[in-house]
Amino acid sequence: MRVCFVKLHQVSSVIKTISRGLSAEMPRNKRSGRRKHQHKNQGRGNYDLSVRRNELFEKFYSGVGMVPDGEWDNFIKTLQEPLPVTFRITGFKGQSKELMKIVKGEYLNDLMKSSDDDFEEQKKLVPKNLTWYPDELGWQINLSKKEVRHVARLEKLKKFLVFETESGNISRQEAVSMIPPLVMDIKPHHKVLDMCAAPGSKTSQLIEYLHSGDSTVEPDGFVIANDVDNKRCYLMVHQVKRLQSPCCAIINHDATSLPKLRCGDGPQDFVMFDRVLCDVPCSGDGTMRKNFDIWDKWSMNQAINLHRQQTKILRRGLEQLTVGGRLVYSTCSFNPVEDEAVIAAMLDQCKGSVELVDVSSELPGLKYVPGLTSWKLFFGGLDKGQWYETYEAAKENKVPNMNASFFCPTADVAKAINLDRCVRVLPHHQDTGGFFIAVLNKKQHLPWQSVPKENVAGKCVEQTGDVTETLTQKTDNGMDTNTVENPDSTSTDTGKADTVSDTGKADTVSDTGKADTVPDAGKADTGDETSGTATQGEKRKAENQHPNDRAFAGKHNKRMQGYKEDPFLFLKNDDPLFTPIREFYSINDKLATDQILYRTDSGRIRSLYYVSKSIRNLLQRNCNRVKFVNTGVKAFGRSPSPLVTECDFRLNQEGLGALHNMITGRTLHFGREDMLTLLSQDNPYFERFTDDAREQFKRISPGSAVFKYCPTNSDAEPACDIIVCGWKGKTSTRPFVGKHERCHYLRLFGLELEELVKEHEEQRERRKMAESMLSDLKEFDDAPSDPENSNGEGENTTSRNTKDSANNEMDCDVKQEVKNVEEKKDIEDGGV
């Protein structure tokens, strides 16, 4: 045994020696991880971003005929320049008009007043309105992000954009990216599907349009945002949460095989969407102005690899669309293989059941070129490459990876399907990025779909016929298309391109929802989950599941495996957990208890979320079929207080916008002066409010409360409602809003948070100085008398003169601060 150990030790020593020798021969640079003899440009992902030229790119697009005659030089020059900063004011919130006044008045006028710079430089600094975006809600600054960061005069505007973006009142979005949701014509009752939603800027726009009706009424429709990338879904949560809508759900699935979502109460009821957005993955050469590395990486193979996937996503989107509905297909690519070729191939398959829509009247002021009706393709390198106008010519020359759907249809077919109704935005026309948009209308059921019939409610459809049959079609242009008509099936070929990584695996992603799960032996009679066995949690899940869907329990799809989401569980109508909440806040019957959900099946319930009725139904019917990532707005959070024994849950600002009309109690109505006091001070005492506000404080007990500002004739500005939640204590109050939201509300009142903070710091310094002087005076009063002065007259005279001198030296403001400090101490003795 000892001999074997010695031999193993010797072998290990030899291996270590060889490793040291290899390391000595090829030393590494610890800072960069490269071999010292390796050139820095040989590493992966190193590009010279200053060189924005690609001869193959220029040769291809100059020959395609996409750019009008005489505009090519301007097109290339604009592509090589950085993209300007654009932003959009959220239109469905009541404060949008007030924010627009601030942008047009405070920031725009201030920048125009300065005459230090020449006229051209001043034009760049001043934000300009996007004329084609409705209601003057879209704006552009003719400077890049990098330039905006370094222009001192734009520092105030930059902070304004950052704070308002975080509070959800502004979206920093590329101008051309705003077009697809704009032409979808969304109404509050529409059911909307975003098939490739991440990072979420267009999804936010869809939610905005869904809430564009009466702000006091919750829309009947909803938005389903889907993306195949699990990590990007979590990034999208932050984007969507800013809008605080209970009518949106984020799901994680491959768009090419997205199953139909169940709805209603019947076993064969499925959602047919009124609007579908297919903003498909693409090569992205229209984003060269912000993604400079594309200049070096561009090749024709990217479009070829993505064409099939794009076609399948569009096909699945049309299958999810109801008859009479509208689908918008868009890419940020110039390439006709990804644009017109996909549309032409799909229209050929649809056999007249789908048509292109002319949206020129819906985009007044937008400069664009119509879609191509003919194009040719270039394959091969710069030296040996060749142009091909037909599929037969490319096939005869044995060009690899060819498909007939890459090429343009005949002139008669192109005219019949109206390819010129497509929209292509070129960068040099309005200083934007590049984009392609096609709007499709579904006139009748697709040839390969069985004819459904509407149920009694008319909201869902009942699938009839043989829905399990798999159809394999071969189109006239030679492209194979496999479609599985079973709405539960997700087994179709995903068709992922080599350039698109499979991001469905998310085993290592952290659970953002686990903060709500705190193991605690709660009381069962109050609605708290005990920390018992796993079977109790499974029982909770089964109770929340629709009876017609229990047969699907445990039959998870492969794409739903990986990272496990916390469950979405709903309260029952008679749940004892919500009874004290309803009574404490006097919530009316418009809020159904079964619209409140929580995200833990074991442990204490810490947070309650509110969703619309439609989203609740979708969650219960599809939780075992589709992976839901996030939905709802946080309405209540557990925060026990010894001052409030009747209710452990306080209101949350995120859900207040959806719930404030249902809360009839614990609501205080403030004027401009009182709302300013609440928002601009930390824990203001009741004495600082007006008499009317103090009377309202007396009428409610301590605890969470709603503070409303409604403009009147005396309170002219801001001319919009402001609603915040907060805490009413024994002697003081405070708002429960974040820094960015507080800054937003104060800005509406004409104040800046930074100025208030600076003012408070100065007051704090004066208060400290006053306290110090007060302490010195007290020490002087307590000083022992002079023993040599028997009658004490000299000491009293000196003390009196010194104090009079000190009082004379004290400023009036300091005296007032001393008085405030003493009053504050008296109040604090009574407790808050």
The residues carrying an active-site annotation are 332
Sign of CA dihedral 765, 770, 775, 779: positive
Strand partners, 86: 140
For 800-808, the CB contacts below 8 A with 24+ separation are 803/777, 806/773, 806/776, 806/777
What does the alpha-carbon distance between residue 678 and residue 756 come to, in Å, rounded to a whole number? 13
Q: Is 670 helix (H, G, I), strand (E, B) or coil?
A: strand
How many CB atoms sit inside 10 A of residue 422's CB? 24
What does the alpha-carbon distance between residue 741 and residue 679 come to, in Å, rounded to a whole number? 10
Q: Is 31 helix (H, G, I), strand (E, B) or coil?
A: coil
- Segment holding 15, helix H or strand E: helix 2-25
For 748-752, the CB contacts below 8 A with 24+ separation are 748/95, 748/98, 748/99, 748/102, 748/717, 748/718, 748/720, 748/722, 749/672, 749/675, 749/676, 749/679, 749/717, 749/718, 750/717, 751/676, 751/680
Contact 544, 269 (CB under 8 A): no
For 595-662, give the DSSP string.
Answer: GEEES-SSSEE-EEEE--HHHHHHHHHHTTTSEEEEESEEEEEE--BTTB-S--EEE-HHHHHHHGGG
What does the buried/exposed string (b/e) look like for 107-137 if buried means 16 or more CB atoms within 10 Å of the residue's CB? bbeebeeeeeeeeeeeeebebeebebbeeeb
DSSP code of residue 94: T
**Amino acid sitting at position 556:** H
Q: Which residues lie closer than 8 Å to 701 by C-beta, 6 or more apart?
A: 644, 728
What does the alpha-carbon distance between residue 158 and residue 700 come to, in Å, rounded to a whole number? 41
What does the alpha-carbon distance between residue 154 and residue 164 come to, in Å, rounded to a whole number? 15
Strands 517-518 and 354-356: unpaired
How many CB atoms sit inside 10 A of residue 258's CB? 24
| Residue (of 595, 566, 602) closest to 578 by Cα position | 595
Phi-psi region of 485 (alpha: psi -120 to 50; beta: other; left: phi over 0): alpha
- Whether the ω angle into residue 281 lies within 30 degrees of 0, i.e. cis, is no
**Which tokens hold the place of 17?**
């020696």
Contact 806, 770 (CB under 8 A): no
Contact 259, 488 (CB under 8 A): yes
- Segment holding 387, helix H or strand E: strand 386-388
Helix axis angle, 793-809 relative to 753-781, nearest 10°? Answer: 170
What does the alpha-carbon distance between residue 183 and residue 642 come to, in Å, rounded to a whole number? 54
Contact 192, 275 (CB under 8 A): yes
Sign of CA dihedral 771, 775, 781, 786: negative
